[in-house]
Amino acid sequence: MTIPSIPTRGRTLDYAAPIYDLLEPLCLLNKQAEYELSLLQALNPQPADTILDLGCGTGVFCALVGQHLDPELGGSITGIDAAGKMIEHARNKRGTPHCRFEAMAAEQLDFADRSFDSVVSSLFYHHVPLDLKTRSLQEAFRVLKPGGKLIIADMHKPTTLLGALISHVSRWFFMQPQIGENIRGVLPELMIQAGFLPPQTLAQYFGYITLFSTTKPL
Ligand SMILES: C[S@@+](CC[C@H](N)C(=O)[O-])C[C@H]1O[C@@H](n2cnc3c(N)ncnc32)[C@H](O)[C@@H]1O
């Protein structure tokens, strides 16, 4: 079934969906498994948790998280992406009753207030302009339960020469000012402005991706 994409000013990746599972390991310098494992450890899913993944792509990380959830206890993960083709691939390859995928824009979530225990996002925020970064963080805050966890892994201030090279070359090669905002380091302040506690930096990957953890205050 064809799933329509959701209008957004974010850079959606409909065109890349058929080959995204081959491309992503390259972006992660062939260390995708290691990267996803540390994201999983940061998220620390509990069997009964309800979890939301923003900009889920083809749903590889959602499927990994899904293995740690117990549907009989109400555990579930929902991946959203504004690219209909990404959601088609995710549903076909990885959809289960407790690992669901919906076409939706992260800046306008169709979920009730306080409906998730955790929100996670990997490599999504450098795809949206500043105002949508802000709105999607406000939406993440709204749909999280008090005390809920937000885990973000994304491009941030480069920490190595290789990281700086990858960041600046991608910003100019893809003509993507949204990357420029990330590498100037806007994300932590935007999380705080959305109401989250000051984020902790848990890890850095490849000199260009930072893993942040924060929570919605009780
Ligand atoms: C680089 S991919 C990351 C996919 C996956 N999370 C990962 O780590 O591989 C960024 C995703 O964000 C999606 N996207 C862009 N703008 C969006 C928006 N406003 N709302 C939701 N998803 C969006 C794109 O379609 C794309 O699938």
* Nearest in space to 51 (alpha carbons), one of 146, 134, 127, 121: 121
Look up residue 176 and give its amino acid.
Answer: Q
What are 68-109's pLDDT values in tens digits? 999 999 999 999 999 999 999 999 999 999 999 999 999 999
- CA 53 – ligand 1 centroid, Å: 10
- CA 11 – ligand 1 centroid, Å: 8
- CA 48 – ligand 1 centroid, Å: 26
Question: Where does ligand 1 bind, in terms of residues with CB under 6 Å?
Answer: 8, 10-13, 24, 55-57, 81-83, 86, 105-107, 122-124, 127-128, 132
**Domains identified in the chain and CATH numbers:** 14-215 (3.40.50.150)
DSSP 8-state code for residue 108: B
CB 106 within 8 Å of CB 139: yes
What are 188-213's pLDDT values in tens digits? 999 999 999 999 999 999 999 999 99
CB 172 within 8 Å of CB 145: no
Cα–Cα distance, 144 to 163 (Å, whole number) = 32
- What's the whole-number average pLDDT of the chain? 96
pTM, whole model, 2 decimals? Answer: 0.97
DSSP 8-state code for residue 7: P
**The pLDDT of residue 25:** 82
**The pLDDT of residue 23:** 87
- pLDDT tier, 123 (very low <50, low <70, confident <90, very high otherwise): very high
